[in-house]
Each structure stands twice: as structure tokens, then as C-alpha cells.
Amino acid sequence: MFRSIHHKLAQRMALHVSVLLLIIALVLSAFSLFQSAQQLRQQLFQTPHQLLQTSLPTFDLATFNYNDRLNQQLTDGLIQHPAVLSVSVLDNTGREVAHSSRTQACQINTVEYAIFDVEDIHLAALNHRGNDIGQVILRADPCLFVQEFRRTAIHAALYTLLLCVIVSGFIYISHDRLLTRPLQRLAQRAEGINGHTIDSQALAQFHSDRPDELGQLSRSFYRLLEALTQHIHKQQQAEAQVADYSAKLEQLVQRRSHALSEVSRQLDPPTQTANDAITQARKLLLDTALTQLGTSASDVDLVSLQLHLQQARELDHIPQLSRAMDHEERLSLWLQRVLSQEGLYPSVVTHIEADEDPVLLAEELTIWLLVKLTACIRAVSSAPIQLTVRIRPQGDDQQLCFKLCSQAQAVPAELIDSELISTPHGLIPGLKVHRQLLATHQRQLSISYEPELELAWQLPCQHQKALLNAVRRHHPQALQLIINSALQRSKLQSSLDAWQLPYQFGDHPDVGSITLTDDATLAGQRNVLLLGHPDTGLPANWVSAQLLLALSNLCQGSQEQIGRRALVAEDNTISRMLCQRFLKNLGIQTELVDNGLQALEKARQQHFDVILMDCQMPIMDGFEATRQIRRDSLNQATPIMALTGLSGEDERQACLGAGMNDFIGKPFTQTQIQSTLLQWLDSPAA
């Protein structure tokens, strides 16, 4: 690269000298051509005049003797000269006694006419012994002199170009030998070192004893490298100290956060009360069952005893209620089926509102809570119950929002909001138990008594539309199918066609695509979903809900393996190191640069998920780098965050005008970076 640059410098120097020499040569050639034109102009005038004066005595004699034939012969002879175009002889009466002419031998342009602008008509009087007997008119032909002028101009141009080429070549070769090669050797020595391996032996290569300017340049470079090496070593020590400080600070923050979480958990009254509520409810149910068993056999209510034992057993297994059930059904039909199995619909729940979209993998906890809370309301009131269920998006997740309303008036809170509620068939868990159950899942049960009894809660669910959108977003290309079983192929095609997911059949897994196969030899390979093998994939009798969930998990796993990548452009070493540490804590890989030009080069070479750009940097600032990235790079749509210590409205408008999307103020923290990135990493740049 260095040699190429110096070749260009030599070429430029040779070109500049050639242009200067060409201008000088053109001036000299123009002067020479001017002198030559003057001489040719003089010859154009003198040559026809001399020819006419030489032939004039003969014309006098022929005209005096009325010898027209001789006059004609004389005119024919004169036009044979290349400088004569036409000759006419007139007697004293004005009669033309002889005339000869020829066609002009060349085309003369306007410039040449201007150069040879001389009188081309020559007149000479004929007399004999003092008597006027006529005149001769001769017209000159300038072609001979014009052609001579053209040859002279061409020779001058060729000599000028030849001189320029010879001088340019000499200058180029001299520059290359005297300057480029020594500088190239100096550059080769410089390319062989870096800030991590430079030592005194490498520095000694740049110490030169040459007395000329190149020796002085080499010695200056030696002093510069020596100072730069010391600066790099100090910077490395500072970066190591910052990294160590950052790691210790992170450990301290983690220990502090863990301690605060532990204290908060121990001092949280609702959770403690709820745990006591479940324990108390289970104890009361078992005590009631033991009391019944202690009576005579005839007095034991088997239905009530069985209900109490079942309720206690369910309270024991509450942590297992989050187990998923594989099914896919419209929400309204699913609600009717669940409530009908429990004998609650249509006799008790008189109104159901629900979205008609299919729900995937509703949790067992969802069914348990719906049935139990409906039973709680039914236990304290015989009024009709209305059930409303909606699917509401919350970020990337979906929430099933339930609301049970009863027209019961003035229901005592202590009757329903307790550990156990008494029913004609026995005791059942009250709302206090269900609140604890939701609290263990970081959920909340809201209760309203006015103007009517209302229970509301929400739980996460899987939504078919959301899962399909996730698959399409993470895997836009076609799925690869390697299926040997005709039954599996038909079943698979039916599901994929219904979901409108692209697919293609093949013989080998595609590295960049998800592969669905029933070939057990492909088990364990990356991005391969095995059908018909429950230990490593899906069972042979898989349903569409299982397939869609497996595809979604596989796509998200593939996306997590790829990981997110960020470009950090920051000239301050400490800020750059802290930014790298904070992004690493978020699982984001980082590329670090210290000026806008390097950031632009990186953005043109590879794609990033986010770019953190300092506004004030050397060589190229963040504003110009952002404008060029938006104009021409692989990251035209990548979110760009401004790292700036300026908080004024003018500075913010300048950032937005340059193409940045958001701001992170200095000094920044882990929380600031995380909250800002969460707004942009999962959404396209504005």
C-alpha cells in the first residue's frame, strides 16, 4: 500500500512537471511558429512577385507584337509554379488576350487565412518604349506555404510531446529511486511492529546516520515511536486497572443486589402471609378429615371426606401446576369445554366473552384457577356469573386476562377472602389461598366488592399468531424437509401450508436453515428437529401445537446462538472499557473503535444490531460518521445511540438531524444502557 501511494506521488510529480514543461514548450513553439509564419508570409508575397517581374519583358514583347499565342504559352507556364493560382493578360483596351488558372490544391481554414492574410493579387503594367500597352494580373496560391506551416506545427507538437515524455520518465524514475524506495524500506520496518511487541531492537531499526532529509525523517520517526511506545504501555496499564476495577465493582453490585433481594424476600409481608394461608388451609382440611374419621362409621360423610382430601392433595402439588398441556383450540370453545367438565357451564356461567384466536399450550394452572375461583363465587352466591377472557400482548409475551363478575350484592369480605370456604359438600380453598398461588408466580389477584363482586387476574399463554410471527421473524427463509415417511410428510405439509410457512424438500441439512426430518442419523445436529423420536425431538403422534412450539424454540435458540453484536465508537479509553463491560453483562458482543472513520469502515464491512456513537471524536466526529453510515453502509437501518455529555435541545436536534435514534448521557450506567437498548434491539430503527 505504501509503495502504491508513493508511485502515485511520483506520477503526480512527473505529471506536474510535464504540464509545466508542456506550457513552456507550447510558448516556445508558438513563438517559433510565429516567426515561421512571418517568413512564409514574406515568401508568399515575394515569390509570385519575383516570378511576375522575371516574365514581364516577355509579356511586353508578346503584347506589343499582338502575339496572343505567346502570351497564352507564358501564362500556361507560370501556373505550373505551385505559388501561382491564375494569370491574366489584358491589352490597353481592357481585352483579355491570355488567361490560365488551376484549382486550389488545399482547403484553408479560418485560422490559416488569418495567419496568411496578405495581398495575393499582383498587378504589373506592360509598356513598350514608354507606351502603356496593357497589364498582367497574377493571383498567388498560398497552399504551398500553408502546407509548409502545417508540417512545421506538427513537428513542433511532436518534439514537445517527446520532450515531455522523456523528462517525465526521468523525473518519475529519479523520484522512485531517490525517495520512494528509501521510504518504502522505512515503512516496511514500521509495519513489522505493533504496540504490543515493540522493543528496543525494533526501535533501533529506525535510528539512521544519514545526513540528508530522509535520515532526519527516520530519526524523528524513531523519537515518535519511542514516545508512542511509552504511551501505549501506560494506556495498557490503565486499561488493565479499569478492567479490574470494573470487575470488582460488578461483583460488589451483584453481592449488594443479592443481599437486598434476600432482605426484601424475608421482609415481604404479603408473601409471608400467603405462605401461612396455604399452610393453614391445608392444616384445616386435614384436621377436618381426621375429625370425620374419628366419628362412627355411620356418621362419616364420604363425599365431604373425599373432597377435603382432594383439596389438601391439590394444595400439596401447587408448585407442579405450571406444567404445560399440549393442545390447540379456540379460546371460547376451550373455556366452554373446561367449565362444562366441572359442571359450571352453562348453568352457572351465563355469559362468556373470549377472542376467537387459537391458544396454544394453556397451562394447567390456568384451568385450576379458573375452576377454583368460579367455585369460590358460586359458594357464596347463587347469582349468575359472567366470564370475560381476553388475550393481551405484553412485549413479546401474551397474557390471558380473566375477569369473573357476579351480581351478588353485599358479599362479606371475610366470607370469601379466607383460607377456606364452607360449601354444602365440604370445605374448599378461599381467595387468600389463591392470592398466595398467584403471588408465587409473580401475579396478582384483584378483588372488588362494589357495585358487584369481581375477580380479575392474568396469566401468560402461548398464542398461535405470536409464535408464527416469531418463526417468520427469526427464520425468513424456507424450512428444509428431509422426510422418508409418507404419513409424516403429508401431516407436515398440511400444518406448514395452513401456517403459510415456506418449505422445500432436500437430501442434506442446510447449514443456514432449520431442518425437519425423521432420519435418526441426523439427531444432535444444529438446527435439526427430529420427528417420531420423543427422546430427541417430537413423538410420532405429534400435534400441530407441539410442532409450532418446537419450531419457535428452535428459532429463538438459533437466534441466541448467533448473539447480538454492537459497535462502540468512543475515543475515551475509560468510557470505552466501561461500555464494553456493560454490554458484555447483557450478553452483547462488542467491536471497539476510537474515531468516526474507523466506525464507518467497520459499518461498511459487517452488520451490527446497535451502534453506540460518541459525538466528539478525532479524525471524524460522530455526526459525520452517522451521516455516512446512513448514506452508504450495511447498517443504514441499524439503531445508532449517541453517547454525549451535552444535554441541550440544540445538541439533541443535531444528533437527530445526523440520523441518530436515541441518546445515552455521560457518565452512563448499566441501567441506562440496558433500558435504552431494550427500546431498540427488538424493533427496527426509526
- pLDDT 10s digits, 221-246: 677 777 777 777 777 777 777 666 66
User: Which pLDDT belongs to residue 625?
Assistant: 93
pLDDT range class, residue 131, cuts 50, 70, 90 = confident
pTM: 0.40
Lowest mean pLDDT among 97-101, 196-200, 533-537: 196-200
Nearest to 602 by CA among 591, 594, 613, 612: 591
Average pLDDT over residues 111-126: 76
Average pLDDT over residues 88-115: 82
Q: Is the pLDDT of residue 39 over 60?
A: yes
Rounded CA-CA distance 350/387 in Å is 8
Highest mean pLDDT among 46-60, 176-190, 390-404, 416-430: 46-60
Q: What is the DSSP string of 601-646?
A: HHHHHS--SEEEEESS-SSS-HHHHHHHHHHSSTTTTS-EEEEES-
pLDDT range class, residue 58, cuts 50, 70, 90 = confident
Alpha helices in 342-451 (DSSP H): 364-380, 413-416, 431-440
Q: What tens digit of pLDDT does each residue of 486-510 get?
A: 888 888 898 898 888 888 888 887 7
Average pLDDT over residues 377-388: 83
Locate 593 and state its grid cell. Answer: 473503535
Highest mean pLDDT among 2-16, 264-278, 343-357: 343-357
Average pLDDT over residues 388-411: 77
Nearest to 654 by CA among 626, 631, 634: 626
Count other Cβ atoms within 10 Å, centred on residue 51: 19
Q: Is the pLDDT of residue 352 over 50?
A: yes
Locate 545 and state its grid cell. Answer: 401445537
pLDDT range class, residue 118, cuts 50, 70, 90 = low
Rounded CA-CA distance 265/669 in Å is 26
Rounded CA-CA distance 135/169 in Å is 63
Q: Is the pLDDT of residue 567 over 90?
A: yes
pLDDT range class, residue 561, cuts 50, 70, 90 = very low
Map residue 403 onto helix, strand or coil. strand
User: Which pLDDT belongs to residue 92?
Assistant: 85
DSSP secondary structure code for residue 521 in this structure: G
Rounded CA-CA distance 549/604 in Å is 37
Q: Which residue has the higher pLDDT, 601 or 240?
A: 601
Instruction: List 565's β-bridge partners, or say none.
Output: 589
Q: Is the pLDDT of residue 6 over 60?
A: no
Q: What are phi and psi of 3, to 5 degrees?
A: -65, -40
User: Which pLDDT belongs to residue 183?
Assistant: 67
- Ranges of beta strands (E only) in 68-165 are 84-91, 96-101, 121-128, 131-140
Rounded CA-CA distance 174/168 in Å is 10
User: Which pLDDT belongs to residue 391?
Assistant: 79
Q: Is the pLDDT of residue 122 over 70?
A: yes
Average pLDDT over residues 83-102: 87
pLDDT range class, residue 684, cuts 50, 70, 90 = very low
Lowest mean pLDDT among 100-109, 352-361, 388-397: 352-361
Q: Tell me how far the alpha carbon of residue 221 is from its chain's centroid.
A: 38
Rounded CA-CA distance 490/586 in Å is 43
Q: Is the pLDDT of residue 195 over 90?
A: no
Average pLDDT over residues 266-282: 55
Q: What is the mean pLDDT of the chain?
A: 76
Residue 75 to residues 52, 53, 145, 337, 532: CA-CA distances in angstroms?
10, 13, 22, 131, 118
User: Which pLDDT belongs to residue 559?
Assistant: 53
Q: What tens digit of pLDDT does each residue of 16-27 get?
A: 777 777 788 778
